[in-house]
Amino acid sequence: MSSPVRKIVFEQYGGPEVVKLVTAELPAPGKHEVQVKILYAGLGGSDIQMRNGTYPMQKAAPLTPGYVFVGRVYSTGKGVKNFNKGDLVCSLSKYDAQAERANFPETYLIPLPQGFHDLQQAVPLILDWTTAYGMVYRTAQIKKGMRVFIHGLSGAVGAALFKLCQLEGAEIYGTASQSNHAELIAQGAHPFVYTDKNWMKAMQDIGGAHVVFDALGFESYDESWEILAKGKDGGGHLIGYGGNLKLLNGEKAESQNWSNAKLLAKGLVPFCPWKSSFFYIDRDQKTFQPELQKLFQLSMEGKIHVPIKKVWELEEVPEAHRTWAQSKGNGSHVVHISDEVPF
């Protein structure tokens, strides 16, 4: 039996004006589906790109965004074996999380660990922090004493990269808005302003970075390549992800295909001492759930704390899209969907 729910919809591709809060009928969950009452959802660069229609292999509009969520099982369809009404679950859903309730395949639901009570903290771990974790421990293999440069130290993934690299004993450099520098310095980073390019000479003067994490994309890759460690400190690694420079400037993002090709081509030059990689996270990767569980454990042990830049209400999501490029502060955006009440 269907029931009405409020949800965000991108009616078509375009600017913030296409973001609408609507009421629509939600059908009962189908076979092997679970209907979830969503408590918190994520909001980030992937949502902005989907609104523009430039996210790789995305659904066609109209669509409901929401790449990740935490919620409680509301009802189950036929054949569901592992979840019961009231179970606390999370998921990298890719779509549909910015809604009061939605139906999801059972296979992509993950139980929250017993004792994990801060649900706002859980939301960024599912995407922002698993992305950072994979880059730090698998792609870059960060070690103590490495010089690491992170574009967007105050961003959702950048903040996670900062903390995870710092846990491994790396020296952290990077770019961030001037307004965030004092806080970043207090946390042990060496921040620069991206636009004045002073960071390039400063990094070259100290021998370059062993690893550069670049979320900005095409225009930035050449500059990041120039600050990789040379000589006896050679073998630097440039790792791209996101491609968000135009979004941060309030412009429409473009397809990442050419940008990624440019990045990967840099590391294919014969006898080149440096490497280049593009990183992405996917819920079907065999590493996804084990790495998320490790992050839950680090959080519960107090070894990491997720900075939350802003918590939006569901009805404020259109405003979040209008102001996303100008948002201040450090960390991830979270959308509060529903309160924890018995049902």
Q: Could you give the angle at the alpha carbon of 134 between the alpha carbons of 129 and 138, nearest 5°?
A: 155
Residues belonging to the chain: 343
pLDDT at 276 over 90: no
Q: How confident is residue 139, by pLDDT bands cut at 50, 70 and 90?
A: very high
Burial of 21 (0-12, 13-18, 19+ CB in 10 A): middle
- CA dist list (Å): 288 to 38, 41, 89, 281: 21, 18, 16, 8
The per-residue pLDDT for 218 is: 65
The per-residue pLDDT for 183 is: 93
Separation CA 6–CA 26 (nearest Å): 10
Q: What is the CATH number of domain 125-278?
A: 3.40.50.720
Mean pLDDT for the chain? Answer: 90
The per-residue pLDDT for 325 is: 77
Taking only the tens place, the pLDDT of each residue in 330-342 is 899 999 999 876 6
The tokens describing 25, both together, are 């009928």
pLDDT at 227 over 80: yes
pLDDT at 230 over 90: no
Least confident among 104-118, 202-216, 218-232, 299-313: 218-232
Q: Do domains 3-112+308-336 and 125-278 have the same CATH topology?
A: no
For residues 299-326, average pLDDT: 93
pLDDT at 37 over 90: yes
Kindly give the pairing relationship between strand 190-192 and strand 171-175.
Answer: parallel
CA dihedral over 164, 213, 118, 281, signed as positive or negative: negative
Separation CA 217–CA 214 (nearest Å): 7
Q: How confident is residue 243, by pLDDT bands cut at 50, 70 and 90?
A: low
pLDDT at 254 over 80: no
The tokens describing 146, both together, are 């490495």
Q: What is the CATH number of domain 3-112+308-336?
A: 3.90.180.10
Boundaries of every domain in the chain: 3-112+308-336, 125-278
Q: How confident is residue 219, by pLDDT bands cut at 50, 70 and 90?
A: confident
- Cβ count near 23 (within 10 Å): 9
- Cβ count near 81 (within 10 Å): 8
Q: What percent of the chain has pLDDT over 70?
A: 89
